[in-house]
């Protein structure tokens, strides 16, 4: 009895019976939202950290700022502090990411760079479909901070550039446009085209667009879902 | 069996229905009366007989049917008495949204059919209309109508002079809400009606004037003659009545056609068997709304002002959204800088306080409130907006509870937040960048495309 009461329910209690997607937050999300782990308490502590990264803008409703302490010998992230302006899923996702990166003595930098929003979501016990959008900044903020570290330590070859290649010169549709369309729920070329008009006057780019849709669909929604 | 008499407190609602935050099963402090209201026990009592005993169809001629018809007629008369119109000038609908749809579509299509020669008929609406109006106007755009949106000032008001500027012979309908559902700012309906009236004097083809009074009906005079409107939308569940019932006042002589076809009920304007218990409840709710209007307005205003003053005193960097005085007495919409509305909403929920927000994260479309952005607020403000709407169940101790719980929550969320925005700097404070892949967010880009 006591044991079961202690166990955190990972699935939210309101499930969309048609899509299986959730409408409400899971208990793990709530736990991280109401009791955020590893967030930076004091401004004065800033200087303690080796690297810093920020993404988002207040106009968008999400800003994440990350501070890292790195063990240069082991190439590991040993501390991850953060501050987030945003909704519950944004706060919980950053909190969870900070736990994932620092647990078990810290994560190797190369491994941390591979953490995807999908991984964070899994650990959170899922997010309501429409809130996935709000949780995708965490790994970007981490990458920004790691880049800062690479710059500071002269490891320029390791810096990751997040380019936004133009796919369709007519409509000026970029990779980021495709990414956002997928995040907004456009899962097929048809729906993405409806939204972005990509490739309608420039069909050469369609194979690349389809590739990207598949990539982002798997990145954000996993392989098992349509 | 004798029907149970429900106890009610002096302000109408049953004690124990709300405000029992200290008990474990308590519903908490509900401050979202603009979303919906609980049914007044007196309304509920009036509805009860029409579920099981008096279940007849008002279209039938035998006694049971006639009893139902009588109940519908009485409820209609109660509502039209408050509106100061004839009983046959009111149509029941399934919601305020349906009433808005009927008003806009019904009039626009009917006028177009009757008046030939106008190539692109025009509809004028305000920028702060309910989605029930905005969406239907979008649909009419596809049918070849021109939609003109009247801007609102920073205080949320539509300027009648602006209306005069855009009125022309092609205009079919003007629709401006009595009070919007986000800030509760009360629009100058009579002044707008006068502008339209003056225009009508000089022109044979005149526009009709519709207003959505769903939020306003509880606190403002809805006498259609005094307001000078041709059509007016009401919603029962915003005035302690049941959900699933709304209505539209349609002045005699207004050209309108139905949007729902069928058995020809309600003067063929809204086919479908009347929802008798809901209509009875609507009638009762309307009577009570008028009866309690003065005392209730004064009561919630006092509590609202206490809440407003308390928040501005205890929390820094707070902005009022909407008009400072021309506002429904139960509305308080503020933006608390540096924190996000949905996060605040959920923290308050954890304390048993139920409020609403205009933040993008709280909406299905993930777009920040268009009403708050129409007031000229930067997105940074809108994301941190929070709406308190008070009602009959609100007590002084509720307000004290909120004033006690809110500041520490704001302090905590501000601690988690990396932002430190400057108050009073109303221009766009941040560059729209880095939402996904280093770009402006979708709602910003959409606006840019429009321009």
Distance CA B237, CA B289 (A): 12
Tell me if B429 and A58 make a contact (CB, 8 A cut-off): yes
Sign, CA torsion B63/B67/B69/B74:
positive
Shortest CA distance from B361: residue in chain A: A87
B18 forms beta bridges with B15
For residue A136, list chain B residues with Cβ-Cβ distance below 8 A.
436
* C-alpha torsion angle, residues B302, B362, A120, A114 (rounded to 10): -120
Q: Does A183 touch chain B (CB under 8 A)?
A: yes
Would you give per-residue pLDDT tens digits along chain A (226 residues)? Answer: 344 444 455 555 566 555 555 567 888 999 999 999 998 887 766 778 999 988 877 777 788 899 999 999 999 999 999 999 988 889 999 999 999 999 998 999 999 988 888 888 889 988 877 677 667 778 888 988 998 999 889 887 787 766 566 777 767 777 777 888 888 788 888 888 877 777 777 777 888 888 888 888 877 777 654 4
- Nearest residue of B to residue A38 by CA position? B416
User: Which of chain A's residues have a Cβ under 8 Å away from the Cβ of B433?
Assistant: 57
Out of 3.40.640.10, 3.90.1150.10, 3.90.650.10, 3.40.1440.60, the CATH code matching B293-420+436-450 is 3.90.1150.10
Residue B313 C-beta-side C-alpha neighbours within 13 Å: 8
Distance (Å, whole) CA B75 – CA B279:
6
B418–A36: do the CB atoms touch at under 8 Å?
no
C-alpha distances (whole Å) from B313 to each of B132, B305, B407 are 37, 12, 10
Q: How far is A61 from chain B (nearest CA, A)?
A: 6
Contact A129, A21 (CB under 8 A): yes
CATH class of B48-288: alpha beta
Q: How much is the pTM?
A: 0.83
- Give per-residue pLDDT as tens, A173-220: 777 778 888 887 888 888 888 777 777 777 778 888 888 888 888 777
A55, B437: Cβ pair inside 8 Å? no
Per-10-residue mean pLDDT, chain B, length 451: 37 47 58 96 97 96 96 98 97 97 95 80 94 94 94 94 93 96 96 94 82 96 97 97 97 94 94 97 97 96 98 96 96 94 93 89 72 86 93 96 97 92 59 39 49 33
Which residue of A86, A162, A164 is in closest CB contact with B340?
A86
Please calculate the CA angle A69-A75-A81 and round it to the nearest 5 degrees: 20
Structure tokens at B256: 């309108």
In B27-82, at which residue ranges do the beta strands (DSSP E only) sit?
29-30
Chain B contact set for A36 (CB, 8 A): 416
What's the pLDDT at A168? 76
Half-sphere exposure of B321 (CA within 13 A, CB side): 34
Contact partners, residue B380, CB within 8 Å, separation at least 6: A58, A59, B337, B421, B429, B430
The DSSP letter of residue A45 is: G
Residues 6+ apart with CB under 8 A from B35: B356, B389
Domain boundaries, chain B: 48-288, 293-420+436-450
Instruction: With CB atoms and an 8 Å threshold, state whether A91 touches B368.
Output: no
* A10-158: CATH number: 3.90.1010.10
Scan for tokens 């299986």, then name that residue.
A20
Among candidates B383, B428, B438 on the partner chain, residue whose Cβ is nearest the Cβ of A176: B438
**CATH class of this structure's domain A166-221:** mainly alpha
CB-based contact (8 Å) between A127 and chain B?
no
Which of B24, B85, B299, B361 does the annotation list as catalytic?
Answer: B361
Minimal Cα distance from B350: which residue of A? A34
Q: Which of B319, B339, B340, B444 to mutate to test the interface with A (most CBs of A within 10 A)?
A: B340
Instruction: Give the C-alpha separation, B255 to B250, whole Å.
Output: 9
In this structure, are residues A55 and B434 in contact, taking their beta carbons and an 8 Å threshold? yes
φ, ψ of residue B99 in degrees (nearest 5) = -65, -40
Q: Is B364 on the interface with A (CB under 8 A)?
A: yes
Closest Cα to residue B391, out of B323, B307, B301, B326? Answer: B301
Any A CB within 8 A of B427 CB = no
- CA B282, B287, B292, B297 dihedral sign is positive
Three-state SS across B213-246? CCCCCCCCCCCHHHHCCCEEEEEHHHCCCCCCCE
Listed residue (B371, B414, B400) closest to B187, CA to CA: B371
Binary contact (B441, A41; C-beta < 8 A): no
Contacts of A160 (CB under 8 A, 6+ apart): A113, A143, A146, A147
What are the structure tokens assigned to B191, written together?
């002044």
Residue written as token pair 């430190």 = B420
A125 touches chain B (CB under 8 A): no
Burial class, B233, CB count within 10 angstroms (exposed 0-12 / middle 13-18 / buried 19+): buried
Which residue in A34, A58, A84 is closest to B430 by CB distance?
A: A58
In chain A, CATH 1.10.10.1100 sits at: 166-221
The C-alpha atoms of residue B146 and residue B142 are separated, in whole angstroms, by: 9
Chain-chain contact of B437 with A87 (C-beta, under 8 angstroms): no
Work out the minimum CA distance from A141 to partner chain B, whole angstroms: 10
Query: Whole-angstrom distance between the N-terminal and C-terminal Cα of chain A?
Result: 39
Residues of chain A with CATH 3.90.1010.10: 10-158
Considering only CB atoms, A61 lies closest to which of B346, B360, B438, namely B360
Active-site residue set of A: 60, 134
Tell me: ipTM over 0.90: no
User: Would the CA dihedral through A142, A145, A149, A150 be positive or negative?
Assistant: positive
Fill in the DSSP letter of residue B28.
-
């Amino acid at each position: 009895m006591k044991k079961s009461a202690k166990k955190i329910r990972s699935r939210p209690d309101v499930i969309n019976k048609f899509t299986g997607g959730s409408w409400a937050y899971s208990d793990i999300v709530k736990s991280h939202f109401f009791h955020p782990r590893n967030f930076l308490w004091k401004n004065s502590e800033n200087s303690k950290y080796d690297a810093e990264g920020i993404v988002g803008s207040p106009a968008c409703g999400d800003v994440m700022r990350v501070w890292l302490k790195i063990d240069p010998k082991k190439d590991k992230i040993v501390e991850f502090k953060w501050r987030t302006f945003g909704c519950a899923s944004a706060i919980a996702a950053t909190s969870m990411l900070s736990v994932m990166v620092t647990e078990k003595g810290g994560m190797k930098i190369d491994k941390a760079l591979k953490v995807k929003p999908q991984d964070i979501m899994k650990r959170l016990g899922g997010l309501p479909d429409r809130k996935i959008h709000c949780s995708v900044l965490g790994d970007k903020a981490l990458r920004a901070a790691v880049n800062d570290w690479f710059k500071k330590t002269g490891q320029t070859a390791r810096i990751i550039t997040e380019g936004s290649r133009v796919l369709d010169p007519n409509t000026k549709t970029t990779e980021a446009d495709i990414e956002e369309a997928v995040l907004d729920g456009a899962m097929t070329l048809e729906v993405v085209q409806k939204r972005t008009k990509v490739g309608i006057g420039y069909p050469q780019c369609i194979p690349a667009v389809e590739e990207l849709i598949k990539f982002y669909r798997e990145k954000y929604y996993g392989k098992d879902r349509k | 069996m004798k029907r149970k008499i429900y106890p009610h407190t002096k302000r109408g609602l049953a004690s124990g229905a709300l405000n029992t935050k200290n008990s474990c099963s308590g519903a908490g402090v509900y401050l979202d009366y603009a979303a919906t209201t609980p049914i007044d026990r007196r309304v509920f009592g009036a509805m009860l007989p029409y579920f099981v005993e008096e279940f007849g169809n008002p279209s039938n001629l035998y006694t049971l049917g006639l009893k139902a018809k009588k109940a519908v007629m009485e409820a209609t008369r109660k509502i039209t008495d408050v509106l100061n119109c004839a009983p046959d000038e009111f149509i029941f609908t399934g919601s305020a949204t349906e009433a808005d749809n009927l008003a806009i579509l019904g009039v626009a299509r009917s006028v177009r059919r009757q008046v030939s020669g106008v190539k692109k008929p025009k509809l004028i609406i305000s920028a702060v209309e309910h989605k029930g109006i905005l969406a239907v106007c979008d649909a009419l755009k596809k049918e070849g109508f021109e939609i003109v949106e009247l801007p609102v000032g920073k205080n949320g008001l539509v300027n009648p002079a602006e209306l005069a500027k855009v009125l022309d012979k092609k205009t079919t309908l003007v629709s401006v809400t009595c009070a919007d559902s986000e800030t509760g700012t009360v629009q100058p309906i009579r002044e707008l009606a006068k502008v339209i009236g003056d225009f009508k004097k000089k022109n044979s083809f005149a526009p009709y004037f519709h207003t959505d009074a769903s939020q306003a009906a509880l606190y403002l005079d809805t006498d259609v003659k005094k307001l000078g409107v041709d059509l007016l939308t009401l919603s029962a569940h915003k005035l302690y009545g049941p959900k699933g019932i709304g209505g539209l006042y349609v002045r005699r002589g207004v050209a309108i056609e139905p949007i729902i076809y069928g058995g020809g009920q309600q003067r063929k304007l809204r086919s479908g068997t009347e929802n008798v218990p809901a209509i009875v409840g609507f009638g009762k709710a309307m009577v009570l709304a008028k009866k309690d209007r003065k005392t209730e307005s004064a009561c919630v205003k006092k509590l609202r002002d206490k809440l407003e003053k308390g928040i501005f005193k205890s929390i820094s960097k707070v902005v009022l959204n909407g008009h400072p005085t021309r506002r429904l007495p139960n509305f308080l919409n503020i933006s608390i800088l540096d924190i996000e509305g949905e996060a605040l909403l959920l923290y308050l929920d954890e304390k048993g306080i139920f409020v609403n927000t205009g933040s993008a994260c709280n909406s299905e479309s993930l777009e920040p409130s268009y009403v708050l952005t129409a007031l000229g607020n930067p997105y940074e403000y809108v994301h941190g907006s929070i709406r308190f709407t008070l009602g009959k169940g609100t007590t002084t101790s509720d307000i004290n509870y909120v004033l006690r719980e809110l500041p520490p929550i704001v302090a905590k969320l501000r601690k988690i937040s990396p932002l430190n925005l400057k108050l009073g700097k109303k221009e766009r404070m941040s560059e729209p960048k880095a939402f996904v892949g280093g770009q402006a967010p979708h709602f910003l880009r959409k606006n840019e495309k429009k321009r």
